[in-house]
Structure 1
Amino acid sequence: MVGYTPGETTVHTSVAEIGRVTRALRKTSRPVVLVPTMGALHEGHLELVRAAKSLPRAVVVVSIFVNPLQFGDGSDLDTYPRTLDSDVEKLCELGVELVFAPSVREMYPNGFRTTVSAGPLAEELEGASRPGHFDGALTVCLKLFNVTNCSDAVFGEKDYQQLVLMQQLVTDLNLPVQLHSVPVIRENDGLAMSSRNVRLDDGARQAAVALSAALTLGAHCGDRGRDAVLAGARSVLDVVPEVQVDYLELRDGRLAPLPGDVGEGEARLLVAAQVGGVRLLDNAGVILGDLEARQEKEIAQAALQAAGLDAELTEEEMAELRRLREEVRRVREQRGADD
């Protein structure tokens, strides 16, 4: 097949050519898995590639395109690192067979006429300080989904809001694409991997570790409730003046605000801050409520269902089960002492 050689890396710069190759591959029932990037690839990106390659029979397409629509500040766009040759070399080492690296003119031959509106969530959190950023990200990914004919796409959880909005795009527009997420990839000291990390000087680099430390402490406070999670995270950030926090918020898994009476469940703790003039993002999953008690109830519920009883256990019934468990423990300890 012209433009595709199994086991070798082919770089395409043309929309027409990458489309022709991927359409042919889809006809052979091979899944085409897209990993969208803006280049300057680091280990975090490469983990996304490895996740894509792990899908059965996958043909992986890595796109490398610095998307102007995602940048509100022209100077930031101008200074974004462009390292195509070294990026392609890294992808060759991983066995990526297709790289799509178009020019701006190739992707937007008619300018920025038609764009996606990402909706209300795109105006919150990261979107509050970067107007239009998510509209641009969703627009280019919609184009990339269509251009590459992908069946699957892989995104990292570091840009968690983007991940949520990408799933919104796929769901709302009925796109035939399955999204896969990869947990945040971190440096040895906990700092989330990012192309922006290279812009941190030594002092800022040390201070930036406070972001992941704050998230870790906050997550460990989940059994004490929402306020404890936020207070724990703030206690770390407040003692590092070099970290200028933009936002620190606890949301549900889809980034909707948590209700005031939330007791337990899964949540997401998100932080954005300026450190040494560099904007950094990070996030962590949080389990609210008593995890041990919830697991205990799940085990008891599963035992009842195995016995043919499907009714939900009440708090009174759980309290009685705990009392019986303690009674059994006490009797066993007493027998051990007698022996």
Structure 2
Amino acid sequence: MQRIDTQDELRRMLAAHRELGHSVGLVPTMGALHAGHASLIRRAVEENAVVVVSDFVNPTQFNNPSDLRNYPRTLDQDARLVEMLGATFLFAPSVQEMYPSPDTRVFNLAPLDTVMEGARRPGHFNGVAQIVSKLLELVLPDRAYFGEKDYQQLLIVKQMVRQLGLPSQIVGCPIVREADGLAMSSRNLLLSPECRKAAPSISAALRNALPILSAQGVDAAKQKIANDINATTALRVEYVEMADPETLAPVHEYAPGHAMAFVAVQAGSVRLIDNWKY
């Protein structure tokens, strides 16, 4: 594994591989890598001759300056994991390297960015589109891998790729969970002991809602999810939404396979998201 911190060097290295006809996979991350990221990297290594893992905390997708400041950064540890998993390159640029001048591009992400995270974090997904488009245009991967925990982001990236006419295939990969059910996230490192103990209530509430959803409908299921999570004093629900997994349009009547629950939960100072398909 080779660590690279400039775009020019990465372009040169990838050009040599392309001359040999090697396929290229990209795993974009913001570092603080965990088993969820590892699953993406393993799949990329299985499916491509060359794998680039990017490790970059992207400032343009943060609404809250303190969230950006406190986001965990574990680059040396990340590098050891990436090497162990067999990736070819770890791309870890500086902010100046990726944004030598302000990125003023505004993407048309509607209607996917008008609900849930998009409605509550204005500009967040535009920042995601800025950095992901930069990485895709730099690496030109055959495949790029994203986790389904950030499901709304996954759909938005797919839409952006279609709009820009980029040739990369966007591959969604299943959520990886801790043994107690908590969806793996870099932000889990910031949870207090009390909040970490309570956090598995989120996935339990999602998992346990199906009987209510089937018997009593969408509104009753959403209320049960919120009540179950809020019953834990360390957690407070920000939203529970039921949406179509393809369009994110609100679902009002349950049809098996056509409903996903999405939640955002405040756990102390840390904000967690999760989803569940029914």
Give the shorter-chain TM-score range: over 0.9
Among 84, 109, 130, which residue is 1:139 paired with? 130
**SS in structure 2 of the partner of residue 54 of structure 1:** helix
Q: Which amino acid aligns with 1:268?
A: M
Percent same amino acid among aligned pairs? 43
Contact 1:161/1:255 (<8 A) preserved: no
Indicate the residue corresponding to 1:295 in structure 2.
none
Q: Once the 2 structures are TM-superposed, how far is the Cα of residue 123 of structure 1 from its aligned partner? A: 3.0
1:241-282 Cα offsets, whole Å, 9 max, x none, are: 322111101101124324545544422111001011210010
Indicate the residue corresponding to 1:58 in structure 2.
49
Q: Which amino acid aligns with 1:167?
A: K
Among 268, 272, 275, which residue is 1:280 paired with? 272
Aligned length, in residue pairs:
277
| 5+ long unaligned stretches in structure 1 | 1-8, 287-339
Q: Once the 2 structures are TM-superposed, how far is the Cα of residue 169 of structure 1 from its aligned partner? A: 0.9
Indicate the residue corresponding to 2:237 in structure 1.
245
TM-aligned CA distance change 1:263 to 1:118, over 3 Å: closer
Q: Once the 2 structures are TM-superposed, how far is the Cα of residue 283 of structure 1 from its aligned partner? A: 0.5
Structure with the larger RCO, 1 or 2 (CA within 8 Å, 6+ apart)? 2
Among 80, 86, 92, which residue is 1:101 paired with? 92
Contact 1:255/1:268 (<8 A) preserved: no
Contact 1:219/1:285 (<8 A) preserved: no
Indicate the residue corresponding to 1:173 in structure 2.
164
- 2:20, 2:212 → 1: CA distance? 50
Contact 1:219/1:284 (<8 A) preserved: no
Pairwise CA RMSD of aligned residues? 1.8
| 5+ long unaligned stretches in structure 2 | none
Q: Once the 2 structures are TM-superposed, how far is the Cα of residue 24 of structure 1 from its aligned partner? A: 2.8
Bigger radius of gyration among the two: 1
**SS in structure 2 of the partner of residue 159 of structure 1:** helix
TM-aligned CA distance change 1:258 to 1:123, over 3 Å: closer
TM value normalised by structure 2: 0.93
- 1:142, 1:220 → 2: CA distance? 41
Q: Which amino acid aligns with 1:234?
A: A
Indicate the residue corresponding to 2:6 in structure 1.
14
1:93-118 Cα offsets, whole Å, 9 max, x none, are: 11111111111111111222334343
Indicate the residue corresponding to 1:128 in structure 2.
119
TM value normalised by structure 1: 0.77
- 1:176, 1:21 → 2: CA distance? 20
Q: Once the 2 structures are TM-superposed, how far is the Cα of residue 88 of structure 1 from its aligned partner? A: 0.5
1:285-337 Cα offsets, whole Å, 9 max, x none, are: 11xxxxxxxxxxxxxxxxxxxxxxxxxxxxxxxxxxxxxxxxxxxxxxxxxxx
